């Protein structure tokens, strides 16, 4: 009976050690994540194999796994940049990105888990300053917003394309100008709008006047053509037709007395 406890203690110790080893060896990678394996007694970061995918993994307890989010992420960056004429502009932009899954080991080895702070944010700041510096405040405020957004995206992508980062989109959310400049631009835009409205009214009035002139000219031409075509013979025939129609009226007594100057009979009627 005394031997049982002596045998049981080592077994318990072994079991505890095994539990600790298994706990240290077990790695669970969540949805939208991937793991970079670091081999302590080998070549360090594994870069020649794909990263560990989602799910449960067992690794040697002396090795480490660094977990990265590989789904699309967003960084909101607010920065001060200068326009082409040296005015201070506040720019707010959202960056959609994700690490390159197949190059995750190299990203960890060369940039570390701080790759957003060390690579992505400096890249977006540099691109924004370069692009905004080409435009005036008026262009930034109104017509060039979409073009600026696309140019910032393209320039940022050039910087990070060999840094193991996949850039998906850059969205310019807000451009804030100095208040005095903003007010001056708004006044100018209002004046331009009023000028366009005035020009539109002038063009509309000119078209209406032209329409009236054309209609009047058409009527004058029609009357001239009609007058030229009405001969004495045609007028006499029309008069005879009208006289015959009038003589058929049931409400009148018709008395024909001689004829008029035009050769048509004169018709008198009493009601």
Give pLDDT tens digits for 107-121.
Answer: 999 999 999 999 999
Say how far apart CA 175 and CA 96 lie, in whole Å. 19
Range with lowest mean pLDDT among 90-104, 122-136, 220-234, 240-254: 240-254
Q: Residue 55: CB partners within 8 Å, gap ≥ 6?
A: 28, 29
Q: How would residue 69 be classed by pLDDT, with cut points 50, 70 and 90? A: very high
96 to each of 24, 121, 157, how far by Cα in Å? 34, 12, 11
Question: What is the per-residue pLDDT for 177?
Answer: 80
Residue 192, Cα to own-chain centre: how many angstroms?
24
| Backbone torsions φ then ψ of 58, nearest 5 degrees | -110, 125
Query: Phi and psi for 89 in degrees, rounded to 5?
Result: -120, 135
Confidence of residue 156 (pLDDT cuts 50, 70, 90): very high
pLDDT tens for 200-224 read 777 877 788 788 888 888 777 777 7
* Strands ordered across the beta sheet of 33-39: 44-45, 33-39, 64-69
pLDDT at residue 66 above 80? Answer: yes
Superfamily of domain 73-177: Band 7 domain (3.30.479.30)
Helix 121-132 vs helix 145-160: angle between axes, to the nearest 10 degrees?
140
pTM over 0.85: no
């Amino acid at each position: 009976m005394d031997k049982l406890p002596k045998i049981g203690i080592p077994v318990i110790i072994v079991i505890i050690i095994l539990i600790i080893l298994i706990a240290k060896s077990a790695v669970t990678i969540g949805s939208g994540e991937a793991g970079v394996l670091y081999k302590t007694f080998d070549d360090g970061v594994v870069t020649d194999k794909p990263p560990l995918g989602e799910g449960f993994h067992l690794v040697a307890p002396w090795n480490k796994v660094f977990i990265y989010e590989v789904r699309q992420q967003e960084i909101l960056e607010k920065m001060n940049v200068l326009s082409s004429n040296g005015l201070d502009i506040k720019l707010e932009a959202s960056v959609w990105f994700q690490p390159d899954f197949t190059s995750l080991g190299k990203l960890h080895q060369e940039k570390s888990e701080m790759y957003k702070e060390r690579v992505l944010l400096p890249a977006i700041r540099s691109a924004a300053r370069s692009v905004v510096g080409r435009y005036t405040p008026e262009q930034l405020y109104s017509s060039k917003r979409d073009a600026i957004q696309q140019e910032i995206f393209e320039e940022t992508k050039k910087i990070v394309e060999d840094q193991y980062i996949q850039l998906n989109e850059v969205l310019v959310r807000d451009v804030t100008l100095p208040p005095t400049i903003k007010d001056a631009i708004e006044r100018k835009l209002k004046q331009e709008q009023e000028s366009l409205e005035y020009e539109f009214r002038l063009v509309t009035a000119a078209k209406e006047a032209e329409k009236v002139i054309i209609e009047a000219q058409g009527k004058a031409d029609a009357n001239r053509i009609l007058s030229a075509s009405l001969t004495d013979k045609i007028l006499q025939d029309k008069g005879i037709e009208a006289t015959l129609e009038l003589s058929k009226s049931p409400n009148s007594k018709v008395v024909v007395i001689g004829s008029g100057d035009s050769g048509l009979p004169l018709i008198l009627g009493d009601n």
